Chain A
């Protein structure tokens, strides 16, 4: 009994010190969780997509180049500076053309708002084709059932 008491006292004295090992342990786990979830927060222009049932297209580039057309008919692209600001068609095409020079044959994706004028999408497709884009993909959304 006495031995037990002494050991308890001994442990208590030890416990009064700050032990940083569990802290590090917990922090590391938290770090891993944050590292894993951080890339999920992807940025992009808010575009309401038309809904269709479509087959998925095979992706062959790590991060696809996406041209967005919002409800007002303004253009955006997800590469270069100021990806959240509307761009003139010329500027957009220079960016796409630069990509096509270094990744010939690369597909470009178009993300058009469902309320956008059909002509706006077709005209941007034509412009892209002039810039050397051989494959254009239209991004749609599967209807919620």
Chain B
């Protein structure tokens, strides 16, 4: 009896709610742009001088991704440090969707306790909140970690701020002799560490997928040979030294193989080498120059640069268990120079160096739609390398006759130059996510 009446009540409610068709409004356009986000400077609780500003690091990270546009300092008309102090009305008036507040507490043992909250301004609620213990030296990394959390919370994708880059710098010593250095640094260019230094040229660093080793080309013996070095122990080993050129190593996604360019049989061809057995598999056979191999996700193929069509263009060869299937297919048809491919983690984009009006720039080809987009506007932009989340590309460019590094978002909306104090910086490569220390 009771059950029946409840049933009747519910069905009545249901009918009532369905009585009128729900109005649906369709929005087909908006404005293209990055999401505004307000990051309030973190409160400093305790004695001592303030180290690097977490706020600035986080803001620069988010800006670099192209997905966010941090509010300029002059618009931060309120400075709360925790969620309970936030007056959402103020931030709504500023039309900003997200707000980051936090504080740094100095602990007795010279470490910091960092609290931060990410707030949804219009819904007036917390989206993420963490308390992180950080050493003095690890403050920048903690800031990158916070950027990653913010990025992941809002976009659902992994951020790549707490990763590393490797690159080659060229400096001059006291005798005015050139020194070539292999360096690694945080993804924003800070905390640079030189892991190998040589008087002979260094080239083409490549990360192992576990982020513990780098393969690179050294001219230590007067010709290019490939070395592998552990980035923590600095232990290095000569891996490949055939006659002729030994160039452009690229670590396979499974970490067991290297794709590389060898000229031992005459002209440069692409090979795959098993690192344990040193067994070689030849991938290309042409009279033209084939070089700069790049792996597709899952090791399903290689993309390389070849001038077999008369001008340097990108080609793709499919692989099955590291054996080539069929003929290489040409991928690029824009202009008469496309080289040095870098593939995003999901295989959606291929970044490359593209020549247009005599200038070398970074361009991106979206594979599915064949949409081709030139992202940069320098004169000599080179060596693009995707961040592990496929949203940003680091590349080398020239400023006042000096090589520097810049990061561009995959849609070209945000470009940020990384600051380096000295030297000529070139050939950056972005590390994978995992870098175990």
The answer to whether any beta carbons of A and B sit under 8 Å apart in the complex is yes
Contact A79 B77 (CB under 8 A): yes
Q: Is residue A27 contacting chain B, with contact meaning CB distance below 8 A?
A: no
Question: What separation, in Å, do the CA atoms of A61 and B94 have in the docked complex?
Answer: 11
Supposing A80-B90, A81-B79 touch, asked if A94 and B74 sit within 8 A by C-beta, the answer is: yes
A63, A65, A94, A106 — most chain B CB neighbours (10 Å): A63
Question: What separation, in Å, do the CA atoms of A83 and B93 have in the docked complex?
Answer: 14
Contact B77 A62 (CB under 8 A): no
Stretch in A7-15, A52-60, A95-103 touching the partner: A95-103
Contact A65 B93 (CB under 8 A): yes
Supposing A94-B74, A98-B74, A102-B36 touch, asked if A79 and B93 sit within 8 A by C-beta, the answer is: yes
Q: Is residue B92 contacting chain A, with contact meaning CB distance below 8 A?
A: yes
Contact partner, B93, options A63, A81, A94, Cβ 8 Å: A63
Contact A103 B93 (CB under 8 A): yes
Residues of A contacting B: mostly? loop
Question: What separation, in Å, do the CA atoms of A79 and B87 have in the docked complex?
Answer: 8
- Number of inter-chain CB pairs below 8 Å: 43
Q: Is residue B89 contacting chain A, with contact meaning CB distance below 8 A?
A: yes
Residues on B with beta carbons closer than 8 Å to the beta carbon of A78: 89
Q: Would you give the shortest CB distance from B265 to chain A, in whole angstroms? A: 63
Q: Is residue B26 contacting chain A, with contact meaning CB distance below 8 A?
A: no
Residues on B with beta carbons closer than 8 Å to the beta carbon of A101: 75
Residues on B with beta carbons closer than 8 Å to the beta carbon of A80: 77-78, 87, 90
Question: What separation, in Å, do the CA atoms of A107 and B80 have in the docked complex?
Answer: 26
| Number of A positions contacting B (CB below 8 A) | 17
Supposing A63-B93, A79-B87, A79-B93 touch, asked if A94 and B36 sit within 8 A by C-beta, the answer is: no
Contact B89 A102 (CB under 8 A): no
Residues on A with beta carbons closer than 8 Å to the beta carbon of B77: 79-81, 94-95, 98
Question: What separation, in Å, do the CA atoms of A20 and B77 have in the docked complex?
Answer: 48
Supposing A63-B92, A65-B93 touch, asked if A102 and B75 sit within 8 A by C-beta, the answer is: yes
Q: Would you give the shortest CB distance from A26 to chain B, in whole angstroms? A: 22
Question: What separation, in Å, do the CA atoms of A93 and B94 have in the docked complex?
Answer: 14
Q: Is residue B95 contacting chain A, with contact meaning CB distance below 8 A?
A: yes
Supposing A98-B75, A101-B75 touch, asked if A79 and B90 sit within 8 A by C-beta, the answer is: yes
Q: Which residues of A contact B (CB under 8 A)?
A: 61-63, 65, 78-81, 83, 94-95, 98-99, 101-103, 106
The 10 closest A-B pairs by CB, nearest first: A102-B95, A79-B90, A98-B75, A80-B77, A95-B77, A63-B89, A80-B78, A102-B94, A99-B93, A81-B78
